[in-house]
């Protein structure tokens, strides 16, 4: 938790309470349904919460935005982003229902009102459009774009948001390692932000925010 506060300080008492609540809830639920590797549950705030919030360090999600998290797993990056942006609606989608039970329980446990979940494959989502698509390392960039693009509203081009951040647009995903081949195969020209430019911890080396604006 201290690690999150090292980089972000402008939280309301409710947000602080919600962030603090994540640790105990994820530990408790991870014993029943394994959504986080047992060996790094102790690093929850660094490897999951702060990693998710790297998106918030770069992008602004305006009030009223609707965001879909593809392949949310245990709720990342969706749950931390929903805490950070309480006036934005987050729709967390996964094809594995038991993971969504954890997501629902955690959201309910910390009183998070701006999260909905859906048990489905992303390509089966119909009649819904979102301002932005987020995801964390669930598939190659080419596939994420193919799945996400039909779900995107036609937005204006990205413009500066508050505090020089960029208004979130298109696909924003968290990825690691050498992305050259993956980007080449996607045929896309994403904007790539090294997370170790934002956070100094060793864990964030060779981890990136990849944005394909829409």
**Element of type H or E holding 174:** strand 170-176
Is 133 annotated as a binding-site member? no
* E strand map for 23-161: 59-60, 66-70, 89-94, 115-119, 132-136
- What does the block give as tokens for 53? 């919030």
Is 38 annotated as a binding-site member? no
Is 87 annotated as a binding-site member? no
Is 130 annotated as a binding-site member? no
Question: What distances in angstroms separate CA 101 from CA 72, 96, 110, 178, one per listed residue?
Answer: 12, 9, 14, 33
Is 76 annotated as a binding-site member? yes
What pairing do the DSSP bridges indicate for beta strands 132-136 and 66-70?
parallel
Known binding-site residues equal 71, 76, 122-123, 136
Known binding-site residues for S-adenosyl-L-methionine equal 71, 76, 122-123, 136
């Amino acid at each position: 938790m201290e690690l999150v506060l090292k980089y972000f300080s402008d939280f309301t008492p409710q947000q602080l309470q919600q962030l603090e609540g994540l640790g105990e809830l994820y530990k408790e639920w991870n014993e029943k349904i394994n959504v986080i590797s047992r060996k790094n549950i102790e690093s929850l705030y660094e490897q999951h919460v702060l990693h998710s919030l790297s998106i918030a360090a770069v992008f602004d999600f305006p009030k009223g935005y609707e965001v879909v998290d593809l392949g949310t797993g245990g709720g990342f990056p969706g749950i931390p982003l929903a805490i950070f942006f309480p006036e934005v609606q987050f729709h967390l989608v996964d094809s594995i229902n038991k993971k969504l039970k954890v997501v629902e329980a955690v959201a309910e446990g910390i009183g998070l009102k701006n999260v909905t979940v859906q048990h489905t494959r992303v390509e089966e989502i119909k009649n819904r459009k979102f301002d932005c698509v987020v995801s964390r390392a669930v598939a190659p960039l080419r596939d994420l774009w193919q799945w996400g693009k039909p779900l995107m509203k036609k937005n204006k081009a990205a413009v500066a948001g508050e505090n020089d951040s960029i208004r979130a647009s298109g696909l924003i995903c968290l990825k690691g390692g050498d992305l050259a081949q993956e980007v080449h195969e996607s045929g896309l020209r994403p904007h790539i932000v090294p997370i170790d430019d934002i956070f100094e911890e060793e864990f964030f080396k060779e981890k990136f925010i990849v944005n394909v604006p829409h």
